[in-house]
Amino acid sequence: MGVGIKVDKLNAWFGKTQALYDITMDAPANHATAIIGPSGCGKSTFVRCLNRMHETVPDARAAGRVQIGELDVYNGTSAVQIRRRIGMVFQKPNPFPTMSIYDNVAAGLKLNGFHDHKRLDEIVERSLKLSALWDEVKDSLRKKSGASLSGGQQQRLCIARALAVEPQVLLMDEPCSALDPISTGKIEELIFQLKEKFTIVIVTHNMQQASRVAEFTGFFLLGKLIELDKTEKIFTTPSDKRTEDYITGRFG
């Protein structure tokens, strides 16, 4: 089961430039929370702070409190361990081109020293089924490289790879921005199902997407969280003028 996310006064910087200001929000367990906002508003930085990917950028740092279930992200646990519990799907599909489909999915487990082949087979199959890719690739699991798939398939492969390590939270950073509408539809459908098992935070610049997949939506502007509410409320009666301007297309 997924666990909830609590963020308290999260600040982030790139060098001397502050990218996030005092973000405080909750993302409830087993729901999808969408993060929207114009480009450059810090929404990507925000999700990258949740699993401490942000600090892998040179000179970047973050401070504040992030709680994922029982786990205190910025306190006491190593980044490596945090990332193992939190799956992440990136903007551009990034399967490992030198690995087969099977090895791509198993990569996270193998890294963690998991070599029980029978169990691996099961987990790979289950993960690919969860990401709705199984039927398309089951005959060429070990023959085809991850890079030989189509863009949409690659992204679903990346989702399977993230799911294989059995995370509690799945972070998605504009997972459909590089995909065609049909693949996007498939991924959205998938997100809808995955909510039952995981807590999902999805960054998107596509407001329709947010309204289709997420129960909650947060609006970011210039590094600040302007408001976070039920998706329906955000898109119909936002309480902040700036949110209204954005969703009605007055800027961004």
Partner 1 sequence: MPETVTATADFAAAPISLWRRGMNSFATFAAAVSVILVLLPLGAVFGYLVYKGIGSINWAFLTQTPKPVGEAGGGMANAIAGSAFILLIASVIGVPIGIGAGIYLAEYGRNQLGNIIRFTADVLNGVPSIVIGIVAYGIVVLSQGHFSALAGGVALAIMMIPTITRTTEEMLLLVPNAVREAAYGLGVSRWRTTLSITLRTATSGVITGVMLAFARVAGETAPLLFTAFGNQYWNWKINQPTAALSLQIFTYAISPFDEWHRQAWAGALILIVLIVVAVSAVRLVAGRGMLKGAN
Partner 2 sequence: MTGPQPIAKPEVAASSDVQSQPLLGAGNSHVADAIFHLAMLACGLCVLALVGVILYELVKGSRLSWHAFGLKFFFQSEWDPVNEQFGALPFVYGTLVSSFLALLLAVPLAIGVAVFITEMCPRWLKGPLAFTTELLAAIPSVIYGLWAIFVLVPLLRQYGEPFSARYFGWTGLFEGPPYGIGMLAAGIILAIMVVPIVSSITREVMTAVPQQQREAVLALGATRWEMIRTGVLRNARAGILGGVILGLGRALGETMAVTMVIGNRPEIAKSLFAPGYTMASVIANEFSEATGDTYLSALIEIGLALFIVTIIVNILAQFLVWTVTRGTPARSHA
Binding site for partner 1 (CB under 8 A): 1, 78, 80-81, 84-85, 109, 112-114, 116, 119, 122-123, 126, 165-166, 197
Contacts to partner 2 from residues 184-223, by CB under 8 A: none
Position among 65, 84, 129, 144 found at the interface with partner 2 (CB under 8 A): 84
First to last CA, the chain: 36
- Please give the single-letter amino acid code of residue 116: D
Which partner, partner 1, partner 2, none, binds residue 162 by CB below 5 to 8 Å per kind?
partner 2
CB of 76 to partner 2, least distance (A): 16
CB of 27 to partner 1, least distance (A): 19
Alpha helices (H) along 51-180: 79-85, 101-111, 117-130, 134-137, 151-164
- How many Cβ atoms from other residues are within 10 Å of residue 133's Cβ? 24
| 92 in contact with partner 2 (CB under 8 A) | yes
Q: Closer to partner 2 by CB, 154 or 209: give it.
A: 154
| 165 in contact with partner 2 (CB under 8 A) | yes
CB of 10 to partner 1, least distance (A): 24
Q: Under a CB-based contact definition with an 8 Å cutoff, are residues 87 and 167 in contact?
A: yes
Position among 37, 87, 223, 238 found at the interface with partner 2 (CB under 8 A): 87
Residues with Cβ < 8 Å from 248, sequence gap 6 or more? none
CB of 239 to partner 2, least distance (A): 29
C-alpha to C-alpha distance for 235 and 53, rounded to whole angstroms: 30
C-alpha to C-alpha distance for 35 and 17, rounded to whole angstroms: 21
Position among 33, 36, 51, 102 found at the interface with partner 2 (CB under 8 A): 51
Q: Closer to partner 2 by CB, 86 or 190: give it.
A: 86
The DSSP 8-state label assigned to residue 145 in this structure reads B
| 111 in contact with partner 2 (CB under 8 A) | yes
Position among 156, 161, 195, 212 found at the interface with partner 2 (CB under 8 A): 161
Residues with Cβ < 8 Å from 108, sequence gap 6 or more? 84, 161, 162, 164, 165
Of 225, 238, 232, 229, the residue nearest 37 (C-alpha): 225
Contacts to partner 2 from residues 23-42, by CB under 8 A: 39
